[in-house]
Structures are given as C-alpha cells and as structure tokens.
Chains A and B, each alone.
Chain A
Amino acid sequence: MMSPFLADGLIPLAKILAVILYPMLMVIVMIWLERRIVAWIQGRIGPNRVGFQGILQPFADAVKLFFKEDIVQRRADRFLFNISPVLVMFSTLLAFCFLPLGEPFRIGDYTLTLWVARSPVGLLLVLGLSSISVFGVIFGGWASNSKYPLLGALRSVVQVLSYEIPVGLTVLTVVFLARSMDLVRIVERQQESGVWYGFLLPVSFLVFWISAIAETNRAPFDLPEAESELVAGYHTEYSGMKFAFFYMAEYAHMVLASSLVVILFFGGWLPPFPGVKAFAFFGAVPGFVWYLVKIMFFLYLYVWIRATFPRYRFDSLIRLVWKWLIPLSLVNLLVVAGLRFLL
C-alpha cells in the first residue's frame, strides 16, 4: 500500500508540475521545429548556431525577450493590458489538466494515471477552457488603446467564435459514437471498437482539423496577425515578456488542438489497428510514445501548411466557415446521428 503522503500529496504535486512543464517543453520544441522545418521547405538551413543544431535558439529568444523593455501606453487600461497575456496562457494550460497522455500503469500496487484530472465531461471542459483565451485577445486589443490592435482583436474574435461552431458540431459526432464526453472513455471506446474514429468519421475529422487551424490563428487563417497587412494584430503594442506569453500561448494552443485531434480521432495513446491481433506487437511501444508520435505528426502538418499556402483574406475566411463548414458539419451530424440510431 503506497503511503498516503505519496499517493495524495507528492504525486499530484508532481503531476501539476508536469502539466505546466509539458506544454512549455512542447512549445520550446515547436519553436525550434517550426523554424527548422520551414527553412528546410524553403531551401534554407534555419537556426543552427545556438547550441547543437540550434536547439538552444528558443531559450536564447526567451532570454532576449525577458530583457526587453516593457512598454505600456500611457492611456492603456493597465489592468486589462497586463492580465490579457496571463488569461491566454492560463486558460490553455488549465485545459491540459484534462488531457490523458496514455494508459494508466501500475507501479507495485499503485496505479499511476497519466492525467491530472478526469471528468465525465472532460471534453466539454477542455473546449470551454480553451475558449476563455478569447477574452485575453479582446482585452489585449482593447487595452492597447490603439485603432489597429483593436481592429485586429475584433477580427481574431470573430474568426475564433465562428470556427467554434464546426468544432462543437464535429465533436458531437464523436460523442455519439463513444457515448461519452469523458476523454479517457473516448479513447477506451476506440480501443473496444478496434478502429480510430478518424476512419469512421472522416468528414468530422477534416472539418475539425481545419477549424482547429483557424481557432489557433495559424496559416492560412492568420490574417489578423500577418505582417503584410495594415493591421498587425492584437499583440502589436506588447513587448518583452508579455509578448513572449502571447507567442508561447499560441504554440501551446497548437499543441492543445493537436492533442484533441489525436484523442478524438486518432486513438489517443492506442497503437494502430488496436483490436487486430496480428498487429498486437505494436503494443510493445508504450501508449504515451504513440501519443507523442501522433501529436508530432499533426504539429508537423501545422508547419507544413504554414510554409505552403497563401493567406485567406478575412471575408473569404468567414465565408468559408459560414457557407461551407457549418452546413457541412450540420449535415454530417445528422447523418452520424441517423446511422447511430439505425445501427
């Protein structure tokens, strides 16, 4: 019997530390990966001087930003201005608490679960928490007391809110199949049915993935913050560490979105062909390694898309979601619900 001190004290504490460090570590890896992959696609090298193959570059950037002067407008709303980066980071990190990283495994007679918290409505909580970051965006744009960040923030908010709808609708189809909103249960159900939901619900997967890119303000949906535009985005007036927070929060949000895609559609920590006996040897690799591999694949996809496609103009972006993605996901929902009812 493990001592209560460990089971109820130290281990949860360690998990909380992990849920802060894990996204931060992923962010650091992502910053490096993005610059190297984009450079490779463009026929360049990318950072390769700071540390081995440039691996310390993100640290160098963080240190530089740390030492930058923190400029705040005289007439900016100080409280909102300061709290926006915190809000954006905080909501994203909090959502990570509910993400399961792998199967629970036993140490002696103690079962170590690879999540901080488990809730029967975990999916809803994750989506809800990640939506709080929108407040950070609008506060930041407003508090900057400047025309262009405000316009950029408004555009960002409209974009994020519009794309929440297809996210919700496609996620519902997964809930129909899994009969649960518990993220751990969803993965277990994929194991029971022997196939990842992405193959059963291809339309949901595609619509969800496109919406996820738009939710995270990434290319080709990054107009609100593109440099070649007049309006430079809600984080124009931010400098130093506050800007770093926005920057890191964007990457953390990317990791969160990728994690959701993997859990909902790609079997979470499950190996490929989970029910098939012939491929049982995949199980030799621990679950969380599969999970990480899959997340890295989607993060690579993020970078690849960014380096390839031109940017959507704002009105095309909104037209896309309202004329195409939402009707498509509605129809998809009806079809899945109908099939579930019949079968």
Chain B
Amino acid sequence: MAFKEIALNMGPQHPSTHGVLRLKLAVDNEVVISLEPVLGYLHRGMEKLWENLTYTQIVPLTDRLDYLAALSNNLGFVLAVEKLAGIEVPKRGQVLRVVLAELQRLASHLAWVGFQANDIGAMSVLLYGFEARERILDLFEEYVGARLTVHGIRIGGVPRDFDPAFVRKIERTLDGLPAKLRDIELLLNENRIWKERTQGVGVITAAEAVDFGLTGPPLRATGTRWDIRKDVPYSSYEDFEFDVPLGSAGDVYDRYLVRMEEMRQSLGIVRQALARLPDGDFTAKVPRILRIPPAEVFHTIEAPKGELGFYIRSNGTDKPERVKMKSPSFINLMSLAHMSRGNLFSDVIGILGSLDIVLGEIDK
C-alpha cells in the first residue's frame, strides 16, 4: 500500500480557528503527521509602537492584545511599570485589582467553554457561557464604560473606587453564576460523547510541557503545580485563600475540568476580596508625565490564558526603550504541532480550542 500524504489547509478564514490563524496540515488517512501554524495575520507592530508612546498611553493599547481578557493585559503591564518606577499601589487599590482580574478570568473562561463546546457540537453551551459572561461584562460597563477593551486598571491603581452599591451588584452577579456553571457541567462532564472526543486527545506530558514553555491551564492539566498567583504573588494575592486545580492526563478533557474549577476558585477569591475590602486610596499618586530612570524589569502574572509577562527597559524619558511581551498564547500555540501528531484531524479543532488562544496576543 502506497503511503499517501494529503496536504490540508485550515484558515486563515475558518469558523473554528478562533481568529485569523492558518494551519498547514499533512495527514495520512485522517491521522495528522505534521502541523504548522502560520502567524502574522493580526500583526500590528505593537512593540514598535510602544517605543514611541508614553507609559500611560501604552496601557489602553494592551487591551487589544488578549481582547477577551483586557484587564489581565492591563494588570500585567502596569505591574511591570510600577516595579520599574518604584510606585507603590495602596492596599485597597491592590484588592480592587484582584476583584477586577478575577472577574475577567471568569469572563474569559466562560467565553472559552462556549467556543470549545460549540466546536465539538454542543451548541447550546455557547449560548449559556456567553449569557453568563454578559452579566460580568455589564459590571465592567458600569465600572468604566467599556465591555471588551476595558482599560480598567491603570498605572498606580484603578480609575475609580467601588461604591457599596457596585459591590452589592457584583455580589448579586456572583450569586447567579454557580447555577450556570452547574448547567454547563451537567451537559458535558459525564456526557459520553464529550468524553470520547476529549479524553486521550491532545496529550502532552508534564516534562514536555515545561520544555515547550507551556503555561496556564494546559500546563496544570498535566499535573504541574504552576500558578504565578501562588508562586510569585503580586497585587496582594498572597492574602487570599484559593486552590490551584490540577489535572493529571494532560488531555483536552483535563484542561476543560481545570478551567471549570478555576472559575469556581475565582468566584471564591472575589467574594473574599469584597468581604474584606481595606480602606484607603484606590490609586497611588502618579506624575502626569512619568519619566523612569534607566532600568529594566521582567514581571509576569497569571492571566487566564497562561503566564503573561512584560519586559520593560526604560531610558530616562517618558517613553520606554523597549517593551517585550511574553505572550502565553504564542508560546502555547507552539506545542500544538506536538499535541496533534498522531491524532485524527477531526480532533485538531478540539485541541486548538483547548489551548485557548487569542490571535491578538499571539500576533501583537
């Protein structure tokens, strides 16, 4: 029997590649032999642009990186700037940032579960996930006026304080979420078809994962305990009690379970934060023109997609000399080829979805 290898192309326009991504596949009788992602369709030259903008001007642009979790990008960047400039954020500001970041994690994971389920055929979960996400986006809209590109975390703290009415609103939204999560889990967790399509698919071992630089839920699904909120805490995360969900098999199913549990943990963190909001200022005084003497810093946070990092080098002016973003989606995508090899090409979509990538973050 002759060896027949077919070249297949997915994207850049495709309903399930989650953005403009092109995948070049080689398959033999439905089994994937090789996979090569082609990037750059959304490349906007962000890093070059940032070298010509002030630190304050860069913050709203970070929204456009991982546009499904804008606040995480904001937080990652401003924490690096604050470390560089030696700005201390008051305790209240830090806790408010934790609330916003965890709400953003919830919103991001809800969008993710919707897309993942829809790609595998359970279309109703898409609507359930997005409906729940809408409640959280309503909160952001009330807070700063934007749902998607929120820009709700600024250098020095947060733009506005939370008044008691807003706090109650957040709590009411949180009250409604566990039921929606339960609905989704009832549909998927023990569903035989879901398990057949996700268990044993896209497997990666813990050692391989670390070598590939994988971070976030895909890494934790292999059983590796790695969460920057615990390992190198920032923004008062060390004051909160929460678990880091781990998987064991490193397959698509475990990634799903890890993210579902992470959502529950985020709910817990927000409740703890709101229950013990410290008094004080919600932001530090930051000079209008922020000039930072020459220095360099590398700081990472645990964003919903993985470990997000910024390297900033300052040169004494109000604009950075160099900003480099460590993009979790970019690095996670690199292991897609390894994970897909040996799987059926019908599974490539499922594996890609389980990495939870956002092209804005990959292409910068």
A residues within 8 Å of B by Cβ? 38, 41-44, 219-220, 222-223, 226-230, 307-316
Q: Which 3 A-B pairs have the closest CB atoms?
A: A311-B121, A42-B127, A310-B121
Contact B196 A42 (CB under 8 A): no
Cα A307 to Cα B16 in complex, Å, equals 19
8 Å CB contact of B15 from A219, A222, A227, A310: A227
- CB atoms of A42 and B10 under 8 A apart: no
Counting chain B CB atoms within 10 Å of each CB, the highest count among A41, A226, A229, A313 belongs to A313
Interface string of B180-210 (1 = CB under 8 A from A): 0000000110010110110000000000000
Contact with A along B1-24 (1 / 0, CB 8 A): 000000010100001100000000
Most chain B Cβ neighbours within 10 Å, of A44, A228, A312, A313: A228
15 pairs of residues in contact across A and B, judged by CB atoms under 8 Å: A38-B123, A41-B124, A42-B126, A42-B128, A219-B121, A222-B121, A223-B346, A230-B346, A307-B124, A308-B124, A308-B187, A310-B191, A313-B196, A314-B346, A316-B197
Complex contacts, B349 vs chain A, CB 8 Å: 228-229
The answer to whether A42 and B124 have CB atoms under 8 Å apart is yes
Q: A227-B15, A230-B10 are in contact. Are A310 and B124 (CB under 8 A)?
A: no
B173 within 8 Å of A (CB atoms): no
Contact between A315 and B345, CB atoms less than 8 A apart: no
B296 at interface by CB-CB < 8 Å: no
Q: Which residues of B82-126 have CB atoms within 8 Å of chain A's CB atoms?
A: 117-124, 126
Does B347 reach chain A (CB closer than 8 Å)? yes
Interface of A is mostly: loop
B180 to chain A, nearest CB (A): 10
Q: How far is the CB of A87 from chain B (nearest CB, A)?
A: 28
Report yes or no: B124 in contact with A311, Cβ–Cβ below 8 A: no
Q: Which residues of B line the A interface, CB within 8 A?
A: 8, 10, 15-16, 30, 117-124, 126-128, 131, 187-188, 191, 193-194, 196-197, 344-347, 349
What residues of A have a CB within 8 angstroms of the CB of B30 in the complex?
Answer: 315
Given A310-B197, A312-B193, A313-B197, also A220-B121 (CB < 8 A): yes
Chain B residue at minimal CB-CB distance from A223: B346
Question: When chains A and B are docked, how far (Å) is the Cα of A53 from the Cα of B8?
Answer: 44
Q: How far is the CB of B77 from chain A (nearest CB, A)?
A: 34
In the complex, besides A42-B123, A228-B120, A307-B124, 18 extra interface pairs with C-beta distance below 8 angstroms are: A43-B128, A44-B127, A219-B121, A228-B121, A229-B349, A230-B10, A308-B187, A309-B121, A309-B122, A309-B191, A309-B193, A310-B121, A310-B188, A310-B197, A311-B120, A312-B193, A313-B197, A314-B346
